[in-house]
A = this chain, B = another copy of it.
Amino acid sequence: MTITVVLGHPYPRSFNHAIAKHVVEALQTAGHAVAFHDLYAEGFDPLLTGHELATDDVRTNALAEQHCRELQLADGIVVIHPNWWGMPPAIVKGWIDRVFRPGVAYQFAGDDDGSGVPAGLLRARAAVVLTTSNTPAEREQDIFGDPLETIWRNCVFGFCGVALVVRRNFGVIAGSSRQQREQWLAEAAATALRVLGQAR
């Protein structure tokens, strides 16, 4: 399978980077073709332009265009990022804004002005979302409503036709033991392998 792995975290020694490393290695060891993108490291520009919005044309940005092609071809997708304010970091938000475009990830019918229900265009049948947080799970659910859950499951991947979406949040990261973090890394890799394996 061809699998796109996207990481959004600015600090190379972050736990998010460790998750990405473990997931990519596990997928490659299992024989998958992995396209890995550290969005900060590759200098991804997250700003959708007015031109792109008006024309659905992303050819003004070579990297965004490459992401569009890869997203269309991917059999599976893995996204890794911290929970910042109940949302992904801006660089991941911009990856959605610029790459999940009409004609790439979804399409409205010809007579639809954009208020209807689109057809999902993604080839991928499964997506794995791995997030990290310093907010205890109960507080995240009770006070904040854990918006990342509906964002990835319904607003993004569901909208684009990806049927199987599995999210796993790791936390609390602050103050966690080395042993705990190693367990999380193993679990992250196992989750990606298991879920994407079901998408064959």
Contact = CB atoms under 8 A, between A and B. Distances in A.
Interface residues of A, number: 47
A89 to B, nearest CB: 6
Contact of A94 (B90, B139, B151, B175): B90
A85 B10 contact: no
Interface in A150-169: 150-151, 154-156, 158-159
Nearest to A146: B150
A40 interface: yes
Contact of A115 (B134, B143, B156): B134
Interface string A2-14: 0000000011100
A197 interface: no
Interface of A: 10-12, 40, 46-50, 52-54, 84-91, 93-94, 96-97, 100, 113-115, 117, 134-136, 139, 143-145, 147, 150-151, 154-156, 158-159, 172, 174-175
Nearest to A90: B94
Given A50-B11, A90-B93, A144 B136 contact: no
A10 to B, nearest CB: 4
A149 to B, nearest CB: 9
The 5 A-B pairs of least Cβ separation, nearest first, read A90-B94, A86-B155, A147-B147, A11-B50, A46-B90
Nearest to A52: B10
Given A50-B10, A115-B175, A144-B155, A93 B87 contact: yes
Nearest to A136: B115
A11 B143 CA distance: 35
